[in-house]
Amino acid sequence: MTTEIYVPRSLSLSRMDKYLASGWFRAGMLIYKSEIACLEDGLWPVVNIRLVLPIYEFKKRWRKLLKQNSQQLTHKISILKLTERHQEMYDLHKKRCRGVITPKLHDYFYGSSWTSESVFNTYQVDVYLENKIIATSFFDIGKHCLVSILGLYDDEYKRYSLGNYTMLLEIEHAKSLEKKYYYPGYILKGCSLFDYKLELGEMQYYSWQGRWRKWDKLSEEKYRTDSFLNNTKALFLELLKTNIECEEVLYVMFGIVYDDRICVNAPICIAQKNYKTKDGGFWAIEYNDLNNQYTLGICYCWDNFRYLQFTPDFKTNPRYCLQTICYENILIQTASIQKIITVLKDNLVLI
């Protein structure tokens, strides 16, 4: 499965629009494009979504929420400016979210504690109860769009439906600026984790054939995930039939490339049983659905993500690999499972 990652040194508003319109999304200081996500103990097709603002109208329930909250709460929209209160709410957010997280909110937006410069045009809406910030949503503004990046709120005030409320305020602001599109991120096909975004209204979704389509066409969409998983599972079962001890690995850091290292690029691979305990290297196999080939190689784990944190569901699940899997030596690339098994058996005594 392909994943594209780009860390821009500069980014105009119109260029940001083009990336979003082509299925890219922002995460921290980078933008990325991926057809699959590794979450909830599985792999799920990514479905990017957006609202078309010129024809969008708030549902009755959202008009009611906006009216009710405006009677008790106030809000302020400003350019990105982080405070200790934002970090407090981010610490609460880390307990709720799943996956990969940065310890500090500042590092998420700026990459490190050493700088406060960013190429993104980021703003925030702070929601106040009297003089206390109880929720904040961060968003980027492009030439013709607004994209929601991150929402934080204090659990003590969940009666105000703050997660929904801040998205509604973002949409309201985008409409006031006469933007064409509002991007709330993505959902996962077959997994309900992010389905709350669909409650905002009728969405368009991004087809990986390169165009945006009406939501009712989603059932017609063909995803490469099934083919990828089927071919990986077929390999796994054949290895077990031949009594080769192995395990399926959910590879969180797939698609990330470092200097001149050749890394596993698939979100799931098959590795030698108990590979995490192998100091001298281990064998691993991945399937590439672009060229319909398996790659077998001798690998090692590189712990280069010490600056990141992983949520408990990732750290306690033995199926996840939270390090980078690098190839030390590629033994064979072939579409034949039997050739993979033959080469693997010939080299088992060497591993």
- Per DSSP (E only), the strands in 154-240 are 181-188, 204-207, 211-214
Q: Crossing angle of helices 60-72/162-176, nearest 10°?
A: 100
Residues 234 and 199 in one domain: no
Residues 77 and 196 in one domain: yes
CB 101 within 8 A of CB 310: yes
The Cα 162–Cα 135 span in angstroms is 6
The Cα 152–Cα 137 span in angstroms is 6
The pLDDT profile of the chain, 351 residues, written as one tens digit per residue, is 567 888 899 999 999 999 999 999 998 888 999 998 888 888 899 999 999 999 999 999 999 999 999 999 999 999 999 999 999 999 999 988 888 888 899 999 997 767 788 999 999 999 999 999 999 999 999 999 999 999 999 999 999 999 999 999 999 999 999 999 999 999 999 999 999 999 999 999 999 889 999 999 999 888 888 889 999 999 999 999 999 999 999 998 887 766 678 899 999 999 999 998 877 789 999 999 889 999 999 999 988 776 678 888 888 889 999 889 999 999 999 999 999 999 999 887 555
* pLDDT score for 180: 98
Which of residues 164, 197, 220 is at a domain's end? Answer: 220
Please report which helix (H) or strand (E) contains residue 334, including its range: strand 324-334
Residues 38 and 160 in one domain: yes
* pLDDT score for 303: 82
pTM of the model: 0.91
Residues 267 and 236 in one domain: yes
Which of residues 220, 254, 276 is at a domain's end? Answer: 220
The Cα 294–Cα 337 span in angstroms is 8
**Number of domains forming the structure of the chain:** 2
Q: Which CA distances in Å does 338 have to 235, 331, 342?
A: 9, 14, 6
Render 88-152 in DSSP notation, one character per residue: HHHHHHHHH--SEE-SSHHHHHHSSTT----SS-EEEEEEEETTEEEEEEEEEE-SSEEEEEEEE
Residues 229 and 144 in one domain: no
Strands of 320-321's sheet in order across: 320-321, 246-251, 268-272, 282-288, 293-302, 324-334
Q: Is the dihedral of CA 319, 325, 331, 337 positive or negative?
A: positive
Residues 303 and 279 in one domain: yes
Residues 158 and 280 in one domain: no
Q: Determine the longest span between alpha carbons in the chain, in angstroms.
A: 73
Residues 190 and 268 in one domain: no
* pLDDT score for 304: 76
Q: How many Cα atoms occupy the beta-carbon half-sphere of 247 within 13 Å?
A: 13
Residues 29 and 177 in one domain: yes
Which of residues 169, 185, 220 is at a domain's end? Answer: 220
* pLDDT score for 127: 98
Residue 238 is part of which domain span?
225-350
* pLDDT score for 112: 73
Nearest residue to 256 via CA among 40, 9, 7: 7
CATH number at residue 117: 3.40.630.30
Residues 153 and 235 in one domain: no
Residues 31 and 144 in one domain: yes
Residues 138 and 210 in one domain: yes
